Amino acid sequence: MMDFRTLPDGPLRLENVTVPACLVGQAGGLVRTALSLDGGRIAGKGGTPVDMGGAMVLPCFVDMHTHLDKGHIWPRSPNPHGTFTGALETVRADHARWSAEDVGRRMDFALRCAFAHGTRAIRTHLDSMEGQDAISWPMFAAARDRWRGRIDLQAACLIGCDGFSRDGAFRDTADIVADHGGVLGMVLYPVDDLADRIEGFLEMAAARGLEADFHVDETLDPGSETLRALADIVTATGFDAPVTVGHCCSLSAQAEARALDTLDRVAAAGLNMVSLPMCNLYLQDRHAGRTPRMRGITLVHEARARGISVSFASDNTRDPFYAYGDLDILEVLRQATRIGHLDHAGDDWVRTVLDHPAAACGFAAPSLAPGAPADLVLFRAREWTELFARPQADRIVLRQGRAIDRTLPDYAELDDLMETP
Ligand SMILES: [Zn+2]
């Protein structure tokens, strides 16, 4: 593999590279082509030729659903049983330690990981209950400024829907979100007056001109149908800002006809779906002494067949909701491919970590077209089986045409934050 650090400055022509046809406006699977790089951008032609030997090239990634504020607390707050309830309770207890410095240092650590793996845009959720919003949002805004030009950052507030009321503390949270250019977010699960809460939430978002991002039905209880309720309310109210729905696990446990009917409503409402397959695999269908039978992943094939925007994202990293992960979206796509049988099912699933999430969130679209920034990830792999067989730890990441230092931060940096207070 070419060592980009030893190449002279000046225009280059990467000959004999392999790219997904869907990214260069062609039909079919992978195609061999050439990419010219000039002045930090992709150019139409020209440059000193370099034979890339068939290396796969992708534009840098978009990770549209993360929890940077929770990341890397595992050593001090491990999930006691690996369950969803254990995750909720453990994180809630850990909140006492979420000073601006604590959240900020863990967030910066996570962003350095994501950057090294080739990600250039991230949306994170930020726990915003019980006064945490006043700490985390200004700290997030500072991180967004610091990372500008390397990773485009967005944030969505996170509260449980039983913590929502039209005239309670969430109004202040919504104002903080609006002040920081954020997205209004909430977790939906069955509660008695769910429809009223969703309507009130969307009214607050509309009054402030905010987009919406929901965690929905992160459970295998088939009776959890908050996605269905949300889709119907969005359609009925005509709420017209982009709406994202994450998880949607219960669809996979419902009777087929019912789940597909809900997806028809999601399509009609124009909701953007994001699946978090690694976190689902960890939390869903976990029972002590019993082998899990269900994967938790939502109905991604059926959703795409209905024209719904489907993306995959990291979700949690090294926290009680997911013990592992490193904000490597290639790992997410590799795992999603295996968990969801994306192989043998069309050629353009790579778009679920590129232009689909970019469009859902309003990030600049990752592109290989002339004029786009030369923000590229290059692999020794020459086809999908080679790409997904290895972690691709030796990938090269170019930002504006230059190879970045891909050294990952050392976990020991965070040791002092993990000590017992
Ligand atoms: Zn999440």
Residues 198-252 have pLDDT tens digits of 999 999 999 999 999 999 999 999 999 999 999 999 999 999 999 999 999 999 9
Mean pLDDT of the chain: 96
Domain architecture of the chain: domains with CATH: 4-60+367-403 (2.30.40.10), 61-361 (3.20.20.140)
pLDDT at 5: 67
- Please compute the mean of the pLDDT values over residues 56-65 and round it to a whole number: 98
CA of 246 from ligand 1 middle (Å) equals: 7
CA of 364 from ligand 1 middle (Å) equals: 22
pLDDT at 3: 72
Contact 366, 354 (CB under 8 A): yes
- In terms of Cα–Cα distance, which of 363, 325, 111, 349 is closest to 242? 363
Instruction: Say yes or no to pLDDT of 159 above 80.
Output: yes
Instruction: Say yes or no to pLDDT of 275 above 80.
Output: yes
183 contact partners, CB below 8 Å, separation of at least 6: 123, 154, 155, 156, 157, 177, 210, 211, 212, 213
CA of 82 from ligand 1 middle (Å) equals: 16
CA of 274 from ligand 1 middle (Å) equals: 10
Q: Is the pTM of this model over 0.85?
A: yes
Return the active site residues.
Answer: 218
CA of 125 from ligand 1 middle (Å) equals: 7
Residue 281 tokens read as: 């695999």
Q: Which residues are in the CB-under-5-Å shell of ion ligand 1?
A: 315
Q: Predicted confidence band at 1 (pLDDT cuts at 50, 70, 90)?
A: low
CA of 401 from ligand 1 middle (Å) equals: 33
CA of 316 from ligand 1 middle (Å) equals: 7
CA of 169 from ligand 1 middle (Å) equals: 22
Instruction: Say yes or no to pLDDT of 12 above 80.
Output: yes
pLDDT at 47: 94
Phi, then psi, of 191 in degrees rounded to 5: -140, 160
Contact 296, 285 (CB under 8 A): yes
Instruction: Say yes or no to pLDDT of 9 above 90.
Output: no
Residues 310-368 have pLDDT tens digits of 999 999 999 999 999 999 999 999 999 999 999 999 999 999 999 999 999 999 999 99
- Please compute the mean of the pLDDT values over residues 15-42 and round it to a whole number: 96
Instruction: Say yes or no to pLDDT of 260 above 80.
Output: yes
Roughly what angle, to the nearest 10 degrees, separates helices 226-237 and 256-269? Answer: 30
- Please compute the mean of the pLDDT values over residues 7-21 and round it to a whole number: 90
Alpha carbon distance 6, 396 (integer Å): 13
CA of 217 from ligand 1 middle (Å) equals: 11
Edge-to-edge order in the sheet of strand 57-59: 57-59, 376-378, 396-399, 402-403
pLDDT at 87: 97
Alpha carbon distance 253, 227 (integer Å): 14
- Residue appearing with tokens 């000046």: 10
CA of 14 from ligand 1 middle (Å) equals: 38
Instruction: Say yes or no to pLDDT of 8 above 90.
Output: no
Residues 160-186 have pLDDT tens digits of 999 999 999 999 999 999 999 999 999
Q: Predicted confidence band at 420 (pLDDT cuts at 50, 70, 90)?
A: confident
- Please compute the mean of the pLDDT values over residues 84-100 and round it to a whole number: 97
